[in-house]
A and B are shown apart, each in its own frame.
Chain A
């Protein structure tokens, strides 16, 4: 039973880490290696609003999410747009931005145990004999809601449908009047906000530390590669696969091996099925 409960929590956590990354890659084919940095940024912004400006917690969170979305959109509009379509340059540029942000925080002295966010609701509840705190329940609930809302968003709204079109065939989308530059910015803003949402949900369970930015990037990439790059539903399923694998490893081998699962998953997927479990290998279009 513990395995089921902790596995679910861990899986939803991974899905939250990865879903923004998966979305940006899916829509714009942009591997956003600043994803982990945006996660940390959102945590520190929330902390600052809460502690330096003394705002109410919910308001701090909302403002931080908006700010993170704007930062993501600006990173795209001023830097990444220039290297659009060249994946290696996109990786280098976004990783460099991520490094600058994270190391900037470290340099600025944002480290140590002082930087924590309070849980939304203190306390815990017993489920089938396992004690689960409310924050983790919220993570699962909100995580599930995010996946559901995102699904609805991409199927029933104009912008969401445009994203789906662009993800499948950007040129065809252009012909239908979809402005790919605009949609790419919006997707990046959304993806950053999702990184921020993961942060405000999960950081209350620990400290805000710079290293989280690196770990989350690795986990997000692991999930997306296993799920098939570009398929965010695949990423959600992969999150469950890796999530449960990690918990099983922790139970039977020890916590030390948890990260190895993700790394092994990346390597095995790349060797055995490079397009991921659920990704379709795009056929090369023949030119006649």
Chain B
């Protein structure tokens, strides 16, 4: 469904992604794990086209020189040259690190803005669905985004991304800063969404432990390079992975 080959990203001379190739099949959940600064967000930005937008703006402002290489194919089509809005229209929707909720808008308005690409019936149905899987959002409909707790914000960020009618949902560190209980809840919800809405998910995290149970396949990034990949079982059985990426929650963040 989504297939990226030979992705390289340089910030000036710093190599942030080194020849990364990943693929995500229909209805699959793919994990991407790596420590802070491993290049997870850079990868998500590159897949969603945000990186191209950043590159364009930096070039225009005479800022950082960003170099991108490699190819992203979606349903067999090369989309490397498409703008983020065009990729979103095709169904590649990023739910970014740190959520980026619209802080001055209410919960409902955040979701409505998310429904920019949806037809009015799609928006109505998805809104209902989001309130069903995340009941706190229904309760807090009128609450201003900036006043939500971290967990509520994350639900809102995912809900808002769903409103855009994704076929592939990119979740960048959705568990950041959440309690273990909230983390477990969100992971369960993610699995449910993937099944019920028939979509694929690529999810990044620093620690694999909370996420690994739901992934079909995963990649491990270190300093921009993929040091390992494999199915859930293969990774679980690997002693190196066990020691490095099954970190203890307390040390998280």
B41 nearest CB across to chain A (Å): 10
Residue B60 contacts which of A85, A175, A182 (CB distance < 8 angstroms)?
A85
A62 nearest CB across to chain B (Å): 29
The count of chain A contact residues (Cβ–Cβ below 8 Å) is 27
The count of chain B contact residues (Cβ–Cβ below 8 Å) is 34
The answer to whether B57 has its CB under 8 Å from any CB of chain A is yes
Whether B85 pairs with A178 at a CB distance below 8 angstroms is: yes
| A176-B164, A177-B85 known; A164 vs B113 contact (CB < 8 Å) | yes
Whether A172 pairs with B96 at a CB distance below 8 angstroms is: yes
Whether B36 pairs with A288 at a CB distance below 8 angstroms is: yes
Whether A176 pairs with B114 at a CB distance below 8 angstroms is: yes
A89 nearest CB across to chain B (Å): 9
Whether B164 pairs with A177 at a CB distance below 8 angstroms is: yes
The answer to whether B183 has its CB under 8 Å from any CB of chain A is no
The answer to whether A106 has its CB under 8 Å from any CB of chain B is no
Residue B161 contacts which of A176, A178, A285 (CB distance < 8 angstroms)?
A176
Whether A161 pairs with B100 at a CB distance below 8 angstroms is: no
The answer to whether A111 has its CB under 8 Å from any CB of chain B is no
Whether B60 pairs with A176 at a CB distance below 8 angstroms is: no
The answer to whether A256 has its CB under 8 Å from any CB of chain B is no
The answer to whether A63 has its CB under 8 Å from any CB of chain B is no
Whether B100 pairs with A169 at a CB distance below 8 angstroms is: yes
CB within 8 Å of B: which of A121-146?
none
Whether A177 pairs with B116 at a CB distance below 8 angstroms is: yes
CA distance A278 to B186 in the complex (A): 36
CB within 8 Å of A: which of B68-107?
83-85, 88-89, 93-96, 98, 100-105
| A175-B50, A175-B93 known; A84 vs B60 contact (CB < 8 Å) | yes
CA distance A82 to B103 in the complex (A): 29
Chain A residues, CB < 8 A from B95: 175
The answer to whether A162 has its CB under 8 Å from any CB of chain B is yes
Best-surrounded residue of A155, A158, A172, A173 (most CB of chain B within 10 A):
A172
CA distance A152 to B85 in the complex (A): 25
B206 nearest CB across to chain A (Å): 11
Chain B residues, CB < 8 A from A158: 116
| A164-B102, A165-B102, A280-B104 known; A178 vs B94 contact (CB < 8 Å) | no
Residue B94 contacts which of A155, A175, A179 (CB distance < 8 angstroms)?
A175
Chain B residues, CB < 8 A from A174: 49-50, 53, 84-85, 88
A105 nearest CB across to chain B (Å): 32
Beyond known contacts A82-B60, A168-B104, A176-B160: 20 more, CB 8 A cutoff: A85-B57, A85-B61, A86-B60, A155-B109, A162-B116, A164-B102, A164-B113, A165-B102, A168-B102, A168-B105, A171-B100, A172-B102, A174-B49, A174-B85, A174-B88, A175-B100, A175-B161, A176-B164, A178-B85, A178-B113
A interface with B by C-beta (< 8 Å):
82-86, 155, 158, 161-162, 164-165, 168-169, 171-180, 182, 280, 285, 288
Top 7 closest pairs, chain A to chain B, by CB: A177-B88, A165-B113, A172-B100, A179-B85, A177-B117, A168-B102, A174-B84
